[in-house]
A and B are shown apart, each in its own frame.
Chain A
Amino acid sequence: MSALLLLLLATAPAAPAEAVLARGETLEHVASRAVGDVRAASELRALNGLPPGDPPVGTTLKLPGPERARARSALDAAHAAVRQREEPTRQEAEKRLVEAESLFTAARYHDAAKLADEAWAAGKATAPSPQRFAVAVEGESGTTRITNHQGPAVRVEAQGVIRAVREGHTLVVERGRAPPVAAPVKPPKLDIGVPAPLSPASSEVLRLRPLGRGLEPVTVRWSAVAEADGYVVRVQDRRGRESLVRTTRLNAQLPSLGPGSYRWSVRAVKGDQEGEPSVTVRFTVEEEPLTLEVKGSGWK
Chain B
Amino acid sequence: MNARCLLLGTALLFGCADPLPAPAAPHADQAPPARATVSALRGPVSVKRAAGDEWRKASVGMRLYADDKIATGAEGTATLTFEAGGSLELEENALVGLSEPRALHQLRATDVTVHRGRVEATLLRPDAQTLSLETPAAVITAGREVVFQ
| A interface, CB within 8 angstroms of B | 127-128, 130-139, 142-144, 146, 151-158, 162, 164, 173-177, 179, 238-240, 261
| Closest A residue to B73 using CB positions | A238
How many interface contacts (CB-CB < 8 Å) are there between A and B? 111
| Bound Cα distance from A138 to B95, whole angstroms | 11
B62 interface residue per 8 A CB criterion: no
In this complex, how many residues of chain B approach chain A with their Cβ under 8 Å: the count is 30
Query: Are B135 and A130 neighbours in the complex by a CB distance under 8 Å?
Result: no
Render B111-138 as a binary contact track against A, CB cut-off 8 A, 1 for contact. 0001111111111111100000101111
Q: Are B141 and A128 in contact (CB under 8 A)?
A: no
A131 to B133, CA, bound (A): 14
- 15 A–B contact pairs at CB < 8 A? A127-B125, A130-B124, A135-B118, A135-B121, A135-B140, A136-B117, A139-B116, A144-B114, A144-B136, A152-B143, A154-B146, A157-B140, A175-B137, A240-B116, A240-B118
The answer to whether A132 touches B141, judged by C-beta atoms less than 8 angstroms apart, is no
Chain B residue at minimal CB-CB distance from A149: B120
Interface centre among B120, B139, B140 (most CB of A within 10 A): B140
| Alpha-carbon distance between A138 and B118 when the two chains are bound, in angstroms | 8
Taking A154-B140, A158-B137 as contacts, is the C-beta distance between A135 and B119 under 8 angstroms? yes
A234 → B minimal CB distance (Å)? 14
Cα A139 to Cα B115 with chains together (Å): 9
| Distance between A82 CB and nearest chain B CB, rounded to angstroms | 14
Q: Which residue from A133, A137, A155, A179 sits with its C-beta under 8 Å from B115?
A: A137
Q: Knowing A131-B126, A132-B122, A133-B121 touch, does A156 contact B139 (C-beta < 8 A)?
A: yes
* Chain B: minimal CB distance from A266 (Å): 20
The chain B residues found within 8 Å of chain A, CB to CB, are 74, 93, 114-127, 133, 135-143, 146-149
The reply to whether B146 and A153 form a contact with Cβ atoms under 8 Å apart is yes
Give chain A residues whose Cβ lies under 8 Å from the Cβ of B137.
Answer: 137, 142-144, 158, 173-177
- Pair A157/B93 contact, Cβ less than 8 Å: no
Given contacts A155-B147, A162-B149, contact A131 B142 (CB under 8 A): yes
Task: Report whether A137 and B116 are in contact in the complex, using a CB–CB cutoff of 8 Å.
Answer: yes
> Are B146 and A137 in contact, CB atoms less than 8 angstroms apart?
no
Which residues of chain A are within 8 angstroms of B74 by Cβ–Cβ distance? 238, 261
A154 touches B142 (CB 8 A): yes
Q: How far is the CA of A164 from the CA of B138 in the complex (A)?
A: 13
Query: Which among A127, A128, A132, A174 is the interface contact of B120 at CB below 8 angstroms?
Result: A132
Task: State how many angstroms separate the Cβ of A31 from the closest Cβ of chain B.
Answer: 39
- CB pair B142–A133 under 8 Å, yes or no, is yes
List 13 additional contacts besides A134-B121, A135-B133, A155-B146; criterion CB under 8 Å. Answer: A127-B127, A131-B143, A132-B122, A134-B119, A134-B120, A136-B118, A136-B119, A152-B126, A154-B141, A156-B140, A158-B137, A175-B136, A238-B93
Tell me the bound Cα distance from A131 to B143 in angstroms: 8
A155 B141 Cβ-Cβ under 8 A: yes
**CA distance in complex: A255, B137 (Å):** 27
Which residue of A has the minimal Cβ distance to B132?
A: A155
B93 touches A240 (CB 8 A): yes
Residues of chain B with a CB closer than 8 A to A131's CB: 121-123, 126, 142-143
A155 lies within 8 A of B122 (CB) = no
> With the chains together, A136 CA to B117 CA distance in Å?
6
Which of B121, B124, B135 counts the most A-chain CB atoms under 10 A from its CB?
B135
